[in-house]
Amino acid sequence: MKISWTHEALISNKSHINKNGVFAKRAIKKGVRVAVFGGYVVSINDLSKIQKSNKSAYQTILDIGYQVDDDLIFSPVAKTQFSVIEYLNHSCEANCGFVGEINLVTLRNIAKGEEITMDYATCITSKLFNMKCECAAANCRKKVTADDWKRSDLQKKYRGHFQPFIERKIKALTK
Ligand SMILES: [Zn+2]
């Protein structure tokens, strides 16, 4: 059974960012909810156990999961649970962001055929998710790190669309 809900205007297809990505079949306006994520809540402390007992679940969690707290990851654990939105890629110039923990909304108008993306800066604080980036955006940061959420340019860009636990951290920093 699919674990997430994906808007019917989205499809998965080949992407230049990663092998696969999510694309708009038609134009979508700013502020539209395009996905509601489902998943298992996995403690980062339990990951090494999972790595030993179920390698494919472990890899899925690292590939697809995002954080809902400093020590908690939200993720499907098997490919059979994927809907379209699980093929969502990171971009340093993302056109979607979070509202609350599980809703993904468009941050601007999306053109037909455009790839739907989010920025990992909005949902990671753990080095587990550090990665090289080849998104090819003009402002590509070349790598995605656990500290990206601390950048004031990104805080400004994605304000209101970080995971709530990161929104709270930013608020505490800027007080
Ligand atoms: Zn990039």
Identify the pLDDT of residue 18: 83
User: Phi and psi of 68, rounded to 5°?
Assistant: -115, 0
| Sign of the dihedral defined by the CA atoms of residues 32, 38, 39, 44, in that order | positive
Q: How remote is the CA of residue 18 from the centroid of ligand 1, in Å?
A: 11
pLDDT-derived band at 175, boundaries 50, 70, 90: confident
Q: What is the pLDDT of residues 101-157, one digit of tens each?
A: 999 999 999 999 999 999 999 999 999 999 999 998 999 999 999 999 999 999 999
The domain containing residue 123 runs over which residues?
5-174
pLDDT-derived band at 17, boundaries 50, 70, 90: confident
Please list, in sequence order, all residues whose beta carbon lies within 8 angstroms of the beta carbon of residue 28, skipping any fewer than 6 positions away.
7, 9, 34, 106, 109, 110
Q: What is the pLDDT of residues 34-80, one digit of tens each?
A: 999 999 999 999 999 999 999 999 999 999 999 999 999 999 999 99
pLDDT-derived band at 1, boundaries 50, 70, 90: confident
Calpha distance 37→102 (Å, rounded): 5
Q: How remote is the CA of residue 155 from the centroid of ligand 1, in Å?
A: 16
Q: Do 40 and 77 touch, CB atoms closer than 8 A?
A: yes
User: Number of structural domains, the chain?
Assistant: 1
CATH code where residue 142 lies:
2.170.270.10
Pair of tokens at residue 143: 């790598």
Q: How remote is the CA of residue 145 from the centroid of ligand 1, in Å?
A: 11
Distances in Å between the alpha carbon of 107 and those of 20, 26, 34, 118, 144?
A: 21, 16, 11, 10, 20
Q: How remote is the CA of residue 137 from the centroid of ligand 1, in Å?
A: 6
* pLDDT above 90 for 174: no
In this prediction the pTM is 0.95
Calpha distance 142→45 (Å, rounded): 28
Please list, in sequence order, all residues whose beta carbon lies within 8 angstroms of the beta carbon of residue 141, skipping any fewer than 6 positions away.
92, 133, 148
Q: How remote is the CA of residue 132 from the centroid of ligand 1, in Å?
A: 8
Q: How remote is the CA of residue 52 from the centroid of ligand 1, in Å?
A: 32
